[in-house]
Amino acid sequence: MIRRLSLGLVSFFMLLSCASSSKSTSVKKSEGESFSVNLGDNNIVEMVWVPKGNFEMGSHEGDAVKHKDTPVHTVKISKGFWLSKYEITQKQWLWFMKTTVEEQQKKQYKKWTIRGVGDSIPMYFISWEESIGFCNKLNEIEKGNLPEGYKYSLPTEAQWEYTCKTFAKNKPLDAIAWYRNNSDKKVHPIGRKHPNRLGIYDLRGNLSEWCYDWFEEYSKEGVKDPVGPPKGEKKIVRGGSWFGPALNTKATTRFQDPPKNGYSSIGLRLALRPIH
């Protein structure tokens, strides 16, 4: 009787231990510290802390007609935020959103062909709306585990340029970015080029990235924590890609595309940021 009771207690505590260890995939998210989130089945997204600061947004030598990246204006990023160390991969997207890059291509922009398939290749042919769906799903799972006032989302355009410009390394373009001259017309696995000073990879090349904002033209007036206009026709896209020339890899270059469309040149970088 005593032996059966002892075995029963052991089994109970083993089950309790297993249950508690699988109860949450989160770790504590403290300002100033990086962390990892498990999407499930050991699909780990590493999140890098980006400290607050001020910077000059836009280009003094920009393309006001095509890229609309002038005039230069001062932007204040009043709170730090997190960005994913890498773009979301095809393996992570398949686990979390249940579609392959081939399936995405069929329902998106069919004129664009597949440019790379593999677990460590970033996901593409995903629209802005689908990318926000990824973020919203993660917010539901992580409810109660997020810092007060923060949610998973796409980075704002200002947060993206601030991270890319302020924490850049003085490296040749070929050392930090995949673009038209070195990509062999395909998307490459994450993390094969040098990161920026925060340890974030592929901001300037491989795939361009959706941002949260609707497009609007710049003003010369300084702004604090801009999130774009409340409505519009096209969403901001930032960063160069395997497809574009060197000009497209500049930290200041802006693009805009309809939120329902997905292309072989645009992917997703996750942000955990203050929601004002």
Write out pLDDT tens, residues 75-98. Answer: 999 999 999 999 999 999 999 999
Q: 211 with 157: CB under 8 angstroms?
A: yes
Q: Who wins on pLDDT, 109 or 239?
A: 239
Average pLDDT over residues 27-55: 93
* Average pLDDT rounded to a whole number, residues 6-14: 37
Query: CA-to-CA distance for 14 and 125, rounded, in angstroms?
Result: 44
- The whole-number pLDDT of residue 21 equals 34
Average pLDDT over residues 41-58: 97
Model pLDDT, residue 112:
85
User: Residue 109: its pLDDT value, please?
Assistant: 66
> Above pLDDT 90, what percent of the chain?
83
Least trusted range by pLDDT, from 57-61, 83-87, 158-162, 271-275: 57-61
Q: pLDDT at residue 2 above 70?
A: no
pLDDT at 60: 86
Name the band, by pLDDT with cuts 50, 70 and 90, for residue 147.
very high
Tens digits of residue pLDDT in 128-144: 999 999 999 999 999 99
Q: How far apart are the first and last CA of the chain?
A: 61
pLDDT tens column, 178-213? 999 999 999 999 999 999 999 999 999 999 999 999
Q: What is the pLDDT of residue 14?
A: 36
Indicate if the pLDDT at residue 33 is higher than 80: yes
**Cα–Cα distance for residue pair 137/198, rounded to 1 Å:** 27
Instruction: Note if the pTM is more than 0.75.
Output: yes
**Cα distances (angstroms) measured from residue 88 to each of 47, 74, 267:** 11, 30, 7
What residues does each domain of the chain span? 25-274
- If one looks up domain 25-274 in CATH, what number appears? 3.90.1580.10
Q: How confident is the model at residue 66 (pLDDT cuts 50, 70, 90)?
A: low
Q: State yes or no: pLDDT of 3 exceeds 90.
A: no
Nearest one of 82, 26, 79 to 49, comparing CA atoms: 82
Element at 54 (helix H, strand E): strand 53-57
Per-residue pLDDT band at 276 (split at 50, 70, 90): confident
